[in-house]
Amino acid sequence: MSANSELRIMRGREWSRPVRPARREVLSAVPELEEGRPPLLFVPGFGHGAWAFAEHWLGHAASRGFSAYAVSLRGHGGSEPAPEATLRAYAHDVVQVAASLPRQAVLVGHGAGALVVAHALARYPARGAVLVAPVFGGWGVLGAALRRNPAGTLPAVFGGPLRLNRGQLFSRELPDEEARRYVGRLGRAGRRAQWALLGEPVAEPAVGAPPVLVLGSPDDRVVPASTLTRVARRYGSAPLLFPGMGHDLMLDARWAEPIDAILDWLEKEPAAH
């Protein structure tokens, strides 16, 4: 992001109508020895909770010396139910948790959580940001989802829940039993937030010019490879690709590869220190 992008100072709506607080679930794994690395905050996508990162990624990041936290957006996982939640409320949740961490955090968003992170970046100067299989909305995403899984997607158009199936989320390598367990834990996002996706909500420019990494899988059945490229170009880079993996890179069989790539990038990226 260019440092000269237009800043928005006047925020009448946020001043006069602040987001109503909601109780949040935050899971964490911290390394035994604090090594001064920036903390990571993982933001799950719609339907997922902090548990999706607690399965593998939190522990793995901690074993490599990074404090790792995952938040459940309101209405997800162990956070307070919030059927009327909006994208703005989700971004509020992320900024609140980020600001509560001891040091400037790196925000890692998955799926629609990446869109929430993109919005949060306009309100919090993150050390860096990672967008994993980002769902930035628009009719293309809806079209792809309708083709793959019409019965699970159509109700969402009318305010019902979005039901993703295992074929969309995981590769064939993941054992059936595990995949079923994960799909069974999925919840749903607020209908207003789901609808907001259709409008392809454009995030304001990030504050503090953080470095941004985009990664995903060319075999993702939710996010087409073209979308990955488009999002990465918006942040002035190219996506990092992990062929053969499904949409849920943090739960799929080869979950270690993307998180290792993220941590390697953080160790190398000078601005993220």
Partner 1 sequence: MSTSTDHGRPDPEATSPASNSDGRPVSDRGDTVCVIGAGASGLTAIKNLREHGFGVDCYERETGVGGAWNWRHDRSPVYASTHLISSKPFTQFPDFPMPDSWPDYPHHGQLLSYFERYADHFDLRSHIWFGTEVIRVEPVEGDRWDVTTRSTGGYGPERTARYAAVVIANGHNWSPKLPRYEGLEQFRGEIMHASSYKDPAQLRGKRVLVVGAGNTGCDIAVEAAQQASRCWHSTRRGYWYAPKYVLGRPADQVNDSLLALRVPLRVRQWLYHWTLRLTVGDLTRFGLPKPDHRVYETHPIANSQLVYYVGHGGIGPVPDVARFHPYAVELADGREIDPEVVVFATGYLPRFEFLDASVFGDSAGAGRPTLWLNAFTPGHPTLAVAGLLQPDSGLFTLSHWQTVLFARLLQARRDRPERATAFAQRVRDRAGERYSGPVKDSSRHWFEVGHADYLRAIQSALSELEGK
Binding residues (CB under 8 A) for partner 1: these are 3-4, 6-7, 9-18, 21-22, 92, 95-96, 99-104, 123-125, 207-209, 270
Residue type (1 letter), 270? P
Residues 6+ apart with CB under 8 A from 213: 128, 129, 130, 131, 237, 240, 262, 265, 269
CB of 91: closest distance to partner 1 in angstroms? Answer: 11
Specify the residue, 11 or 268, whose C-beta has the smaller distance to partner 1.
11
String of DSSP letters for 47-102:
T--THHHHTTHHHHHHHTT--EEEEEPTTSTTSPP-TT--HHHHHHHHHHHHHHSS
Per the listing, tokens 């139910």 go with 81
CB of 126: closest distance to partner 1 in angstroms? Answer: 10
Specify the residue, 60 or 123, whose C-beta has the smaller distance to partner 1.
123
CB of 245: closest distance to partner 1 in angstroms? Answer: 34
Specify the residue, 14 or 176, whose C-beta has the smaller distance to partner 1.
14
Count of positions (residues) in the chain = 273
CA distance linking residue 30 with residue 41, whole number of Å: 12
CB of 66: closest distance to partner 1 in angstroms? Answer: 17
Specify the residue, 150 or 270, whose C-beta has the smaller distance to partner 1.
270
User: What angle, 0 to 180 degrees and rounded to 10, lies between the N-to-C axes of helices 139-148 and 150-157?
Assistant: 140
CB of 30: closest distance to partner 1 in angstroms? Answer: 16
Specify the residue, 184 or 270, whose C-beta has the smaller distance to partner 1.
270
State the DSSP H helix or E strand holding residue 106, giving kind and residue range, or none if neither.
Answer: strand 106-110
CB of 71: closest distance to partner 1 in angstroms? Answer: 13
- Are 219 and 130 contacting, i.e. CB atoms less than 8 angstroms apart? no
Specify the residue, 99 or 202, whose C-beta has the smaller distance to partner 1.
99
CA distance linking residue 54 with residue 28, whole number of Å: 8
